[in-house]
Structure formats: C-alpha cells, structure tokens
Amino acid sequence: MSFDATMPRATAPAILPGSGGMRGALSDLFWRRPKVLLLLTLLPPVLWLGIVYIGSLFALLAQSFFSIDEFSGLINRQFTLRTYGDLLQAANLDIILRTVTMAALVTLASAVVAFPIAYYAARYARGRWKALFYLGVMLPLWSSYLVKIYAWKLILAKEGILTWLLAKLHLLWLLDAWLSLPVVGGNSLSVSFTGTFIVFVYVWLPFMILPVQAALERVPGNLVEASSDLGASPGQTFRNVLFPLALPGIVAGSIFTFSLTLGDYIIPQIIGTSRLFIGQAVYSQQGTAGNVPLAAAFTVVPIVIMGFYLWGAKRMGAFDAL
Amino acid sequence: MRSDRGQRAPLGLKIAAACGLLFLHLPILLIFVYAFTTEEKSFVWPPPGLTTQWFAVTWNRPDVWEALSLSVRVAAISTTIALVLGTLCAAAVSRTKFFGRETISLLVILPIALPGIITGIALRSAFSLADIPFSFWTIVLGHATFCVVVVYNNAVARFRRTSGSMIEASMDLGADGFQTFRHIMLPNIATALLAGGMLAFALSFDEVIVTTFTAGQQQTVPIWMLEELIRPRQRPVTNVVAMVVVLVTLLPILFAYYLTRDGDQIAGSGK
C-alpha cells in the first residue's frame, strides 16, 4: 500500500486545528454516539433501495393478484388467484418448460466450456499471463450486451462468416443436416434454437468462468500431487479430487447462467424462433397484450425457481465460492 | 510454498483454454471489420470492399447523437447517485457490526442478482400504480438502483483493507470527524471509488433490459441499437455505432482494472 497517499499533504500542519461551531459539535456527536452516524450513513441507501426497489417488487407482486377484464381490457384491482390459474394453461406451461430446459442446457454447456479456461488460469497462468487471462474474461463480460448479440447475428446469418467458413472446409452438408433436424434446426442458424443456445452460452460464459476459477485457486496444488503419488491416473485425480472441490464454484456460476437465461427476452427475440421464452412472454403480455397481471404472474415463476435453486446451491456450499 | 509452480500444462488443456478465449473474443473483433464493409443490405462475409464512409454518415445522424447524449447524461447522473449511496452503505457495513447487516448487503445485491426483466417490470408496475409518467428521471431511477452494487463492492473491499488504527491516529492528533474523512479516508478510498464509478458508468451506458421498461419514448444508445436489431434501417450505421460502443465501454473497464489491480481483484466481479 502506498503510504504517501494516506498522509495529509506536506503543507498542512502536523496537527490540524480543531474546528468549532456546528461542525465541531456535529463531529463530537458522531464520535460519542456512533449509532447516530451509522443511522445517518445507512438511511439514504436503505431508503432508496427500500422504496424504489423493494417497493416496486411489492407493486409487481400485488399486480399478479389482480386480473384483467376480458371484455374491456381494464385491470380489475381486486384480489384473485385467477391470473395464476391462467398461468397453468398448456401454452404457458410450454413456455415455462422450454425456458427451463434451455437454461439447464446453457448452464451445462457453459460449465464444460468454462472449466478448461478457469483451470488453466487458476493453476498454470502466472504473472503477465494471469493478468491477461483475467482481462481476457473481464473484457467480454463487460462488453456491451447488445453488441455481443449483434456480433452473433453477423456470424450466424445465412450469408455470414460461419457459412463461409464451413463452405471452405467442405462441411456445408453438416450444417444442412443439423438444420434439417426437428426442434433444434430451422431455416438458418440465426432463426433456430441452436442459434439461441450458442448466443446464451457465449453471453453468460464469463459469469461461469470467474467463480470456477476462484474455487480452483483455493485447491492446494499438493493435493493433486498427493493423489498422483498415491497412484491415481490424471483422470482419476480429476474425477475424485479436483472436480468435487471445484463443484461449489460451478454451482455458484450456474446461479448466474441459470437465472440470466430464465429472465432474458432479448436474445431469443433477435436470434431464435418465434416460440416464446418466459422473458418474451412477460414482455409481450405487459406491452402489446396489456395484461400486466399475467406478466407479473409470469415473473413470479423465475423468482420461485431461483428461490429453490439458491436454497439448493446454499446447501452445496456455493455461496462460499462467490 | 506450493510445489506446483513451474509445471507444464497438458497440451489438451492449453488448446481447450485457448479455444475458449478465442470463442470469447473473436465475435467482438468481427464488429471492427464490419464497421468498414461496403455492403449495405446484408451481413455477407468476406466484405466485398472496405470503406470509411460510414463513419461520416454516422457522424451526421442526429438520432445517433441524441441517443448518445441521453445515454451519457443518464449514466453520469446515475453514477453520481450510485457513488453517494454505495459509499455510504459500504462505510456503514464495513466499519461497524449491527443487526441486519447481512440483510443490507443482500438488499444492495438483489437488483443485480434477480433477472433484469424483473427489476424492469417491477419498476414499471410501480410507476403505473403511482401514476408517474415516463421521463428522463424514471430511467435514472432504475439505473441508479442497480449501479449502487458496483460502487458498493469496490468500496467495501477497499474499506476492509484500510486499517482502522489510521482513523484513530487521526482523531488522536486532534482531527475531527470531517477532517478525518477529508484527509484520511477519502485519499484511501479514492481510487476504489473512481474504479467503481467507471464500472457503474459502463453498466448504465450499456443497460437495455431495465431501460426498455422505464424509458417511454426516449432512446438511449442501447435502445437505439435494439430498434435497429429488430427492424434494421441502415445496417452500416449500426455497425459503426456497435464499434464505438465497444470502444466506449472498453476504456473505463481497462482503467478501472488499472486502478484496482494490486490487491483487491474486485473491479468487475459481481456485475
């Protein structure tokens, strides 16, 4: 730590003159009664977050117990559970199931792609390389979300770079075969679930790498050596020593990938099919359909799912890895 | 001393890690190439020709400038609010132990932990229940709320590294609370605040999900881009704007990293 920055400037006297009047009295009060100071420092942020954020969440929750009048399209502000009943319609259940499946697949894939990067950064990268890896994960994490999606629109477009690359490699038949598959296929990658999936993995990947790397950095290297000294093959060491120790990190990362996928509505709208995800359903219900209660009820679904997820993650010790 | 230093990584791991990093970076680099393409109607690769004319075209677009100006103003004011609230909260949480301390940290992190769409629609329904019309300030309200956490994270980490005895020493030497804050605490946390402020600025500048719910008719840069993505009007202009956005968000991140690089690696964690 640089010490000179903490010292008062050289021109100031070593002992500052005490200030009298209001300021002095206030300062004395804070010193004698630290609770007053604590209250004053806490009040603005707690008021802001409490009123603006928690207040809004309650407003949202309240809306989900209202219902919409089907004839006039007006919102009936009376307590009812009917909106939640609407949520159980087959079409809406389909949306929920589709979103949760996608979130699970994205989480799994991010874990697989993230692990080698995190492992290398945690155990082999040193000095300059370590910084490079850190920035290499940080920069994509903080780069503009929309620009990243836009970049994938360029890549996945029918006339884009991926098709060009596959044509050069004489692998176009593979792409065509994949696109002709039901569910995952489509006219081109940019209007298929495969495209949605790739972009989700890409955009959330850094959120998985960071906690996994943090978890792996805490594994002492001699544990791995001890395992191989005792005759374990690298594969066995990985399965029985490294992986279980990295698991809390993976679970911590999966909180982000899972939650973010559940709530996103822009990626499937720009790269994907016309079938809706939860986020899109919320957006269209509150926007074009004007059915704010149903939109509110829809948002309760990810909140409840994430509640269970966090509960499970906590039991696996994932919060220590955050 | 750990015994694993200097070991060689297996080749397979090296390749997998390198491929992963390339996967993360190549798409963003591609944006830079497309900003110079002569093709207007499609995303054809390779670009048929290269030109810089789209920079001039973009420069003369009033809608781009309006969006940019709105984004910068929103980000500046949200960052200021977040700096004040985040620092206060961090000071309270790290200096003292009190009942409900964990709840406060949770409260700060919640707006970023829950999916953006929930924050967005919650704010929107609150505005509609309270009959607040959409304006510049409704956007700021949303942005400041989720920017607090970034400042808070940076400030908390720095407060923890600052030793409490320095404050006591300052008091012993006769400084009052305000002087101690001005001459001892502020110089100590200044770089952390600067880093947190820059990240908050970048976060606000880039935010789209919450903004779509709180903006009404106004367009920030991300809203402008989203419109272009859904209904493309002039693709080359979008390419140029995308490139500029990458550069604008890149610089604060690098600078924030530079400011916090020794010791607390918290610059970006907890976005």
Q: Of residues B264 and A243, which shows the higher confidence score?
A: A243
- On whether residue B35 sits in a domain, the answer given is no
The predicted structure's pLDDT at residue A19 = 62
In whole angstroms, what separates CA B64 from the centre of its chain? 21
Q: Is the Cβ pair B269, A210 closer than 8 Å? A: yes
CA distance A160 to B33: 13
Domain that holds residue B233: 66-260
Per-residue pLDDT band at B94 (split at 50, 70, 90): confident
The predicted structure's pLDDT at residue B124 = 85
CA distance A99 to A139: 28
What part of B 114-143 touches A (C-beta under 8 Å)? 114-119, 121-126, 128-129, 141
What is the dihedral sign for C-alpha B125, B130, B135, B138?
negative
* ipTM greater than 0.90: no
Domain that holds residue A213: 88-321
CA distance A8 to B182: 9
Which of A95, A94, A87 lies closest to A293, judged by CA? A87
Contact B201, B79 (CB under 8 A): yes
Helix axes of A90-123 and A128-142: crossing angle, nearest 10 degrees: 160
First vs last Cα of chain B: how many Å apart?
Answer: 33
Q: Is the pLDDT of residue B249 over 60?
A: yes
Tokens in use for B104?
A: 């406060």
Q: Average pLDDT of each block of 10 consecutive residues along chain A (322 residues)?
A: 45 60 78 81 86 87 82 75 84 91 95 92 83 87 88 88 88 86 83 92 92 86 86 86 88 87 90 88 81 86 86 74 54
User: Considering only alpha carbons, which residue of chain A is nearest residue B24?
Assistant: A140
B77 touches A: beta carbon within 8 Å? no
What are residue A75's DSSP bridge partners?
A: A68
- On whether residue A78 sits in a domain, the answer given is no
Find the DSSP H helices in A88-126: 90-123
Contacts of B23 in chain A (CB under 8 A): 113, 202, 205
Q: Is the pLDDT of residue B159 over 80?
A: yes
Per-residue pLDDT band at B69 (split at 50, 70, 90): very high
Number of structural domains (chain B) is 1
Which of A201, A204, A219, A208 lies closest to A122, judged by CA? A219
Number of structural domains (chain A) is 1
First vs last Cα of chain A: how many Å apart?
Answer: 26
- On whether residue B17 sits in a domain, the answer given is no
CA distance A45 to A74: 36
Question: Which of B81-85, B205-209, B267-271 has the lowest average pLDDT?
Answer: B267-271
CATH number for B222 = 1.10.3720.10
User: Considering only alpha carbons, which residue of chain B is nearest residue A153?
Assistant: B43
- On whether residue B43 sits in a domain, the answer given is no
Contact A156, B53 (CB under 8 A): no
- On whether residue B115 sits in a domain, the answer given is yes
What are residue B50's DSSP bridge partners?
A: B37
The predicted structure's pLDDT at residue B143 = 92
- On whether residue A54 sits in a domain, the answer given is no
3-state SS, B137-202, equals HHHHHHHHHHHHHHHHHHHHHHHHHCCHHHHHHHHHCCCCHHHHHHHHHHHHHHHHHHHHHHHHHH
- On whether residue B268 sits in a domain, the answer given is no
- On whether residue A258 sits in a domain, the answer given is yes
What part of B 22-51 touches A (C-beta under 8 Å)? 23-25, 27-28, 30-31, 34, 42-46
A93 touches B: beta carbon within 8 Å? no
CA distance B259 to B196: 10
- Local structure of B109: helix, strand or coil: helix
- In chain B, % of residues over pLDDT 70: 94
Q: Is the Cβ pair A123, B31 closer than 8 Å? A: no
What dihedral angle (degrees, nearest 10) is formed by the CA atoms of B39, B45, B50, B55?
60
CATH number for A256 = 1.10.3720.10
Per-residue pLDDT band at B187 (split at 50, 70, 90): confident
The predicted structure's pLDDT at residue B268 = 41
The predicted structure's pLDDT at residue A174 = 86
Q: Of residues B131 and A12, which shows the higher confidence score?
A: B131
Q: Is the Cβ pair B23, A202 closer than 8 Å? A: yes
Question: Which of A156-160, B92-96, B201-205 has the lowest average pLDDT?
Answer: B92-96
Contact B155, B86 (CB under 8 A): yes
Q: Of residues B22 and A127, which shows the higher confidence score?
A: B22
B165 touches A: beta carbon within 8 Å? no
Residues A196, A200, A206: CA angle, nearest 5 degrees: 160
Per-residue pLDDT band at B79 (split at 50, 70, 90): very high
B95-108: average pLDDT:
78
Question: Which of B146-150, B164-168, B226-230, B242-246 has the lowest average pLDDT?
Answer: B164-168
Q: Mean pLDDT of all residues in chain B? A: 83
- On whether residue B44 sits in a domain, the answer given is no
B18-32: average pLDDT:
90
Tokens in use for A29?
A: 């009060």
Q: Is the pLDDT of residue B21 over 60?
A: yes
Tokens in use for B39?
A: 């093709």
